Structure 1
Amino acid sequence: MTDLAQRMMMDASLSRTEQAALAIGQLAEQAPRGARLGTKTELQEQCGVAKGTFNEALRILQSRGVITVRSGPGGGLFAASPTPIARLGNSILSLDAAEGDVADAVRIRDTLDPLLIEDALEHSSAADIARMRVALAVMQEAVDAGDATGFVRANWDLHAAIARVSPNGILKSIYLSLLDLIESHTVSVEPDDHQSLPQYITERQKLHADLVDALDTRDRDRALRLIREHNTTLTSVR
């Protein structure tokens, strides 16, 4: 058994993506800055995960400044020196459902939403709004297909697009890490006792479309009212 495979077995409660990310992250943190960890193929085989799973783990690690990836001769994965913000993201990534209820992560995320909306109102460019509308279109496709889980995941993509507008690196890092944690532990979506699932996602779609419109027109009062409404009419994610 490889060293990476042994590292991955240390916490079986995590998803395979999380296990691979943590194993490679630990390897990078123990190596000198700039040290070559191996090729993508070598490390994927050592982790024993599918290519898509491995690539998603690399995306997480790159976004947190733990590794760099270089192509061409002599390329591969190299250890980086993560910033304090990146280390904060890594500590959130290491959480699992046993250590912190997903509901707690959702509650913290909701508390941060108004701050991100304020930043989006001030800093959103036309390109940022266009990216939000792409996520809205995917959400609408999920509504039309009756795919509640697909809708929620597209919804998170929208919130991630809004978060990335913020110039506040700490706020953005914490929020995106919380989204990663919530998404990794979501299996299904359930409405509250007063609405059917199709009705729920249809109404949520309209709320998010209205929110993006408010950001586009810089309508602060409307945007903040909608995000308050958003965070008091949540469904259950399991």
Structure 2
Amino acid sequence: MDAPALRRADWEPQPTDRASAPTRPERAAEQLAALAAAVDPGDRLGTKEELRARCGVSVGTFNEALRLVQARGVVSVRPGPGGGLFASRQSPMVRLGNSVLALDDDAASVADAVRLRDALDPLLVEDALRHASASDVAAMRTELERMKATTADRDGTAFVRANWALHARIAEVSPNVILRSVYTSLLDIIESHVLSVQPDEAHPLPEYIRSRYELHAALVDAIADRDHRRALELIHEHNTTMDGSATRDEATTEELPR
């Protein structure tokens, strides 16, 4: 006969670590990724309904899992007769400070765009220091708040996209139409090829987001204060720690041009 449960801990359900436990979509995504890893790139895995039933999840949960594996470049979806889910070649990767960007197949365009964007950043900060009005600074702070809001969801992809929106807002201050146009076009190129943002295994996502948010908040403060030296120091730090050094395409590693 079992001993009576005399202590609260003996009969109350114990809390679980929700932060570390995978969600149902994440577990289903792991199943799909495992299926894709077991076959050759281009092989058909099955229809959505067949795979949903195999994962044993609802339609909504399966669609979220499918979004996750598509973002990682593990699975692609083809419509029509004979369509369904197919194993994909692993996406190229670009290191971004303490995170990694999963890209579509055009990693070279992203590398070139990042290099040019880094070169133009100091020019735009110079213009912001000279020309930013109080309303411009307020708009930058609004973008900062959006960046901060993404930290609650631990969503690295949303955070980086909000980061790019802040840079686009800083660029809007420049009276140089050509500079502004070229810069925003580069941001569009980078964003259009990014599938997802994943934290570096050695650096937890909250740590990455916090450090990047603090750097951008300090940059906006420096622009608001017309602190030329501090603003240029910060954009130099941004461009030497944010956008990194390597792309990875399966087993191949190459240096990104700086």
TM-score (norm 2): 0.52
Q: Residue 174 of structure 1 corresponds to which residue in structure 2?
A: 182
Q: Residue 107 of structure 1 corresponds to which residue in structure 2?
A: 115
Q: Residue 24 of structure 2 corresponds to which residue in structure 1?
A: none
Q: Residue 133 of structure 1 corresponds to which residue in structure 2?
A: 141
> Shift in Å at residue 195 of structure 1?
1.8
**Structure possessing the higher radius of gyration over alpha carbons:** 2
Higher relative contact order (CA 8 A, sep 6+): 2
**Aligned equivalents of 1:99 and 1:217: distance in 2?**
38
Alpha-carbon RMSD:
2.1
**Aligned equivalents of 2:182 and 2:163: distance in 1?**
18
Q: Residue 241 of structure 2 corresponds to which residue in structure 1?
A: 233
> Shift in Å at residue 232 of structure 1?
1.0
Q: Residue 6 of structure 2 corresponds to which residue in structure 1?
A: none
Q: Deviations over 1:208-235 (max 9, x none)?
A: 0000000000001000000000011125
**Aligned equivalents of 1:112 and 1:194: distance in 2?**
30
Match of 2:151 among 143, 150, 155: 143
**Aligned equivalents of 1:116 and 1:178: distance in 2?**
13
> Which residue type is aligned with residue 219 of structure 1?
D
Q: Check if 1:184 corresponds to 2:192.
A: yes
Q: Check if 1:119 corresponds to 2:100.
A: no
Q: Check if 1:209 corresponds to 2:235.
A: no
**Aligned equivalents of 1:98 and 1:194: distance in 2?**
26
Whether the 8 Å contact between 1:214 and 1:222 is mirrored in structure 2 is: yes
> Shift in Å at residue 147 of structure 1?
1.0
**Aligned equivalents of 1:228 and 1:193: distance in 2?**
25
Whether the 8 Å contact between 2:106 and 2:193 is mirrored in structure 1 is: no
> Which residue type is aligned with residue 118 of structure 2?
D
More strand by share: 2
Q: Which moved more, 1:219-228 or 1:184-193?
A: 184-193
TM-score (norm 1): 0.56
Identity %: 59
Whether the 8 Å contact between 1:119 and 1:167 is mirrored in structure 2 is: yes
More helix by share: 1
**Count of aligned pairs:** 143
Q: Look up the SS of the partner of 1:117 in the other structure.
A: helix
Unaligned runs of 5+ residues in structure 1 are 1-95
Q: Deviations over 1:151-181 (max 9, x none)?
A: 0111111000000000011110100000111
Q: Deviations over 1:31-51 (max 9, x none)?
A: xxxxxxxxxxxxxxxxxxxxx
> Shift in Å at residue 196 of structure 1?
1.7
Unaligned runs of 5+ residues in structure 2 are 1-103, 249-258
Q: Look up the SS of the partner of 1:132 in the other structure.
A: helix
> Shift in Å at residue 200 of structure 1?
0.6
Q: Residue 220 of structure 1 corresponds to which residue in structure 2?
A: 228
**Aligned equivalents of 1:235 and 1:114: distance in 2?**
15
